[in-house]
Amino acid sequence: MSITMKNNTINKKEIEKFSKIAEEWWDPNGKFKPLHKFNPIRIKYIRDTILSEFKIKKKYEPFKGLSILDIGCGGGLLSEPMAKLGADVVGIDASIKNIQVAKYHLKKSKLKIQYYNSSPENLKIKKRFDIILNMEIVEHVEDIDFFIKESSKFLKKSGIMFIATLNKTLKSYLFAIVGAEYVLKWLPIGTHDWEKFVKPDYLTNICKKNSLKLKKIDGMTFNPILNKWSVTSDKSVNYISEFQKF
């Protein structure tokens, strides 16, 4: 039996889906409203982890001297906060519309970020990065194994990669699809495909094959009463992980 290897990570349907709503990336009350609520806890988690890993003490522009590749950067919701912290940021996305929105918003923020319309396997730069962000992207790619392989090529030895995604459980189906899309209408129907959700063990095994060692993994849970996200031990729906290249 022969196995055909895919040589790209781009899922055209996923790209088209997000391209249609690209103009709403920076609208806190638009179709990306849930992501705007989610963003502060993501930024804090990334910031605190990097400060600890790189033993950074300075308070002003603590990421100065560090390079970050934000894969699947969308409109720049994570790229810009990382640049504000002083990092040298490159953001890539397979959707040209997302990159256009990110570049347009960059003119307003006047930050220094390089944006490219590209997927990891098509990125034509030789630079290696201290940190790679793969946030809420692996559940939208065509071939997760190939995606992680191509992403890891851009990570320096001992560099760290953050991966945030959705677990493949009954609870994630009920919360992330039935609840968020159909009942609460937080997300457009069809935003997620439960079949593409990723179990932590599966992700960890793929990363291990690509020279990435799991350092920590945490759950992220939304409290509807407090209307906010928090880092918890519950990884049954959303989770975020840190890997280090060996």
166-186 pLDDT, tens per residue? 999 999 999 999 999 999 888
- Across-strand partners of 214? 243
Mean pLDDT estimate for the chain: 95
How many domains in the chain? 1
Give the model's pLDDT for residue 186.
87
Residue 5, in any domain of the structure: no
Give pLDDT, residue 6. 55
Give the mean pLDDT of 213-219: 98
| CATH number of residue 56's parent domain | 3.40.50.150
pLDDT in tens, 176-212: 999 999 998 888 899 999 999 999 999 999 999 999 9
- What is the extent of the structural domain holding 35? 12-245
Residue 85 domain-assigned? yes
> pTM (2 decimals)?
0.93
Task: List, for residues 73-124, the tens digit of each pLDDT value.
Answer: 999 999 999 999 999 999 999 999 999 999 999 999 999 999 999 999 999 9
| 117 in a structural domain | yes
pLDDT of residue 2: 30
Does residue 4 lie within any of the structural domains? no
